[in-house]
Amino acid sequence: MENLTLLWESTGLYSISGGQVAMMAVGFLLLYLAIKKGFEPLLLLPIGFGAILVNIPVAEMGGEGGILHYLYFGIKSGIFPLLIFMGVGAMTDFGPMLANPKTLFLGAAAQFGIFATLLGALALNVIPGLEFSFKDAAAIAIIGGADGPTAIYVASKLSPELLGAIAVAAYSYMALVPLIQPPIMRALTTEAERAIEMQQLRSVSQAEKILFPLMLLFLTAFLLPSAAPLVGMFCLGNLMNTCGVVERLSKTAQNELINIVTIFLGLSVGSKLSAEAFLTFKTLGILALGAIAFCIGTACGVLMAKVMNKYSKTPINPLIGAAGVSAVPMAARVANKLGLESNPHNFLLMHAMGPNVAGVIGSAVAAGVLLSLVN
């Protein structure tokens, strides 16, 4: 009888808590969204599975000696987000942005949501139960850039204890771009503005594409060194793709390397979705602030495009301003879809890719500014 009692007490059913059951349910919800709904499946699937693994009682997979504990070193050190940034850089084409440099302003305007949310997070300290330090607020605010790797990188440096909630919020809102952005874009533009056709982009030479990442890295290194890790890896990946002499390295960065790192990154983020770390009042505040940040960023991009259209010699469709957030290429596709709804001949995809790529750079720069402010 004693042996049976010991056996029962060693099972997960005996040791499991209500919080662990709830977080496993969250993990299964993320799996459902990834598999059934197709919401950012490359990240939500491993994150959801990691959440299930870390909440299995007794196994201690996220504790000392567990596989998730060791995988998390890749996030804690910043290695995983930086390697993903290199892969993203290898898949990025600066051509649309270089063909229309004005779109840089749209990428910059969309980052306003980050700094507005920074102030909002600090203001929430007046609510009992919510206590966000400046580091916490800075880490939460970066969600507004809709850039998962950047959000994870900043959170790992400033508020590791909030990493799980921040990462889930960042990737969830990235996945919900087709649902969140269109109502904001329609509310801020008229039918006539959405129907504006833009002039065809000029052809960008290979020399321009090679020089730009080098120039960007040079400026970052001297003006904002704290952003150099993110921008540097992004530029390295892009240079490998555009120079044309290291095709094998470029393909590895775009495929095998980024796929492997994505699996490890997702599991590592999932390891931070333990019941004691996630089921807090702060998590609700983070999710709410992340949504607000994303909405503000989208709205600011559209409004900046409207202002630029008034003073530009060539027409600018305000819809492409919403692509200033870093959700590449989903935000650009949303702008293109809404443009086609108003005008069947209005193809905005390549025009929207300009501010979309600028948004990636903008979110990295914003991350550097936040890290500099904290330091």
**pLDDT mean across residues, the chain:** 88
Lowest mean pLDDT segment, chosen from 26-30, 161-165, 227-231, 263-267: 161-165
pLDDT at 210: 96
> How much is the average pLDDT of 240-264?
95
| 43 inside domain | no
Calculate mean pLDDT across residues 71-76.
Answer: 89
Burial track 218-227 (b if 16+ CB lie within 10 A, e otherwise): eebeeebebb
Residue 313 within a domain: yes
Domain assignment of residue 7, yes or no: no
Pick the closest to residue 365 from 191, 270, 226 (CA basis).
226
- Predicted pLDDT at 318: 94
Count of positions (residues) in the chain: 375
Is the pLDDT at 132 greater than 70? The verdict is: yes
Q: What is the mean pLDDT of residues 136-144?
A: 87
pLDDT bin (cut points 50, 70, 90) of residue 261 is: very high
Task: Please determine, for residue 14, whether its predicted confidence score (pLDDT) is greater than 60.
Answer: no
Low-confidence winner among 138-147, 161-170, 273-282, 285-294 (lowest mean pLDDT): 273-282
User: Which has the higher per-residue pLDDT, 12 or 83?
Assistant: 83
Reply yes or no on whether the pLDDT at 171 is more than 70.
yes
Contact between residue 189 and residue 47 where contact means Cβ atoms under 8 Å apart: no
Whether the predicted pLDDT of 115 surpasses 60 = yes
Q: Give the model's confidence band at 7: pLDDT under 50 very low, under 70 low, under 90 confident, else very high.
A: low
Helix (H, G, I), strand (E, B) or coil at 293: helix
Residue 101 counted as domain residue: yes
Tokens of 16: 């499991």
Within a domain: 143: yes
pLDDT band at 13 (very low <50, low <70, confident <90, very high): low
Whether 346 is in a domain gets the answer: yes
Using 50, 70 and 90 to split pLDDT, how confident is the model at 238? very high
Kindly report, residue by residue over 290-311, the tens digit of the pLDDT. 888 889 989 999 999 999 999 8
**What per-residue confidence (pLDDT) applies to 61?**
86
Looking at the predicted structure, is the pLDDT value of residue 73 above 70? yes
Residue ranges making up the domain that contains 253? 78-265+280-374
Residue percentage of the chain with pLDDT more than 70 = 95
In a domain, 135, yes or no: yes
Please, which pLDDT band fits residue 9 given cuts at 50, 70 and 90? low
Place of tokens 């960008």: 204
pLDDT at 17 over 90: no
The residue type at 82: L
Q: What is the pLDDT of residues 317-365, one digit of tens each?
A: 999 999 988 877 888 999 999 999 999 988 999 999 999 999 999 999 9
Confidence of residue 216 (pLDDT cuts 50, 70, 90): very high
Contacts made by residues 275-281, CB under 8 angstroms, sequence distance 24+ = 275/17, 275/19, 275/20, 275/22, 275/23, 275/55, 276/19, 277/161, 277/164, 278/23, 278/26, 278/164, 278/165, 279/19, 279/22, 279/23, 281/129, 281/130
In the chain, how many domains are there?
A: 1
Whether 196 maps to a domain, the answer reads yes
Q: How far apart are CA 60 and CA 15, in angstroms?
A: 12
Report whether pLDDT(288) > 90.
no
Q: pLDDT category, 12, cuts 50, 70, 90?
A: low
What span, in angstroms and rounded, lies between the C-alpha atoms of 159 and 277? 12
